[in-house]
Amino acid sequence: MATATVEQAPAAADAVPSFQVTMRLRRFNPEQDTEARWEDHTLTMYGTDRVLDALHKIKWEIDGSLTFRRSCAHGICGSDAMRINGRNRLACKTLLKDLPLDKPVTVEPIKGLAVLKDFVVDMEPFFEAYRSIMPFLVTSGNDPSRERRQSPEDRARYDDTTKCIMCAACTSSCPVYWTDGQYFGPQAIVGAHRFIFDSRDEGAEQRLEILNDRDGVWRCRTTFNCTDACPRGIEVTKAIQEVKRALLFRRG
């Protein structure tokens, strides 16, 4: 296990309380490693620092080969979902001071998707599932002469699932997705829910038929991992249940 220590502080260090944290990273470089390995870095960090700041410090000051996705750094783009202390979270939304610092903070790639390097996984199966549920407004083709009107009540019907940032924290926390390999996964169902319950949309029947597939919504075992993992607070399991009920109602 490799270990590195950084001891430095910004000019304002006297005014900002600092603390030591050991970041325990699950590293994998397909060009060098036959299997993943753990690597420790002990850093001096500050009260407002997030896991993403610690990863940046390592990448920019210790080892530039550390590889992870991030973009907005503010919980919007959905690119930095990781397993932090064994739980799926966004690195940019996880404050170090909120984690137990008397032991190393572990960081691993999300599960269920092939690891390409360090914390970068192959997202293509995830996006393929999303594409398959027709994530766009379906209408009978008559272009409106003005915006498609919708009441506040109708808009509220699917408000929760519009918040999805496609980070994959839900899908990659689902035990069915880990073991199955074919299941659409929670995010694709959330994406479908957003349109199925949109009063302006006319593609609900098609989407429900797609999710009625043997790899569809019935694979869900209601473990609530997805709801716990969602950084946007979306009630993922509830959305899945609503799609199931829509299918049952349709059958009736």
- Residues in contact with ligand FES by the rule CB under 6 A: 70-73, 75-80, 90, 92
- As measured in angstroms, the least distance from the Cβ of 177 to ligand FES is 21
Q: Of 239, 237, 243, give the one whose Cα is nearest residue 222.
A: 237
Instruction: Specify the residue, 58 or 113, whose C-beta has the smaller distance to ligand SF4.
Output: 113
- As measured in angstroms, the least distance from the Cβ of 79 to ligand FES is 5
Query: Which H/E stretch holds residue 228?
Result: helix 225-229
Binding site partner of 92, from ligand FES, ligand SF4, none, Cβ cut-off 5-8 A by kind = ligand FES
Q: How far is CA 111 from CA 84, 107, 149, in A?
A: 12, 12, 41
Instruction: Specify the residue, 70 or 157, whose C-beta has the smaller distance to ligand FES.
Output: 70
Instruction: Specify the residue, 23 or 169, whose C-beta has the smaller distance to ligand SF4.
Output: 169
- As measured in angstroms, the least distance from the Cβ of 25 to ligand FES is 17
Binding site partner of 77, from ligand SF4, ligand FES, none, Cβ cut-off 5-8 A by kind = ligand FES
Q: How far is CA 139 from CA 44, 129, 189, 205, in A?
A: 55, 22, 20, 12
Q: Of 160, 171, 179, 188, give the one whose Cα is nearest residue 226.
A: 171
Could you give the CA distance from residue 240 to residue 243 in angstroms, rounded to a whole number? 5
What residues line the site for ligand SF4 (CB under 6 A)?
Answer: 78, 164-170, 186-187, 190, 229-230, 232, 234, 236
Binding site partner of 73, from ligand SF4, ligand FES, none, Cβ cut-off 5-8 A by kind = ligand FES
Instruction: Specify the residue, 77 or 115, whose C-beta has the smaller distance to ligand FES.
Output: 77
Alpha-helical segments (H) within 3-156: 51-61, 124-132, 152-156
Instruction: Yes or no: say if 161 and 234 are a contact pair by the CB < 8 Å rule.
Output: yes
End-to-end CA distance of the chain: 59
Instruction: Specify the residue, 9 or 76, whose C-beta has the smaller distance to ligand SF4.
Output: 76
Binding site partner of 234, from ligand FES, ligand SF4, none, Cβ cut-off 5-8 A by kind = ligand SF4
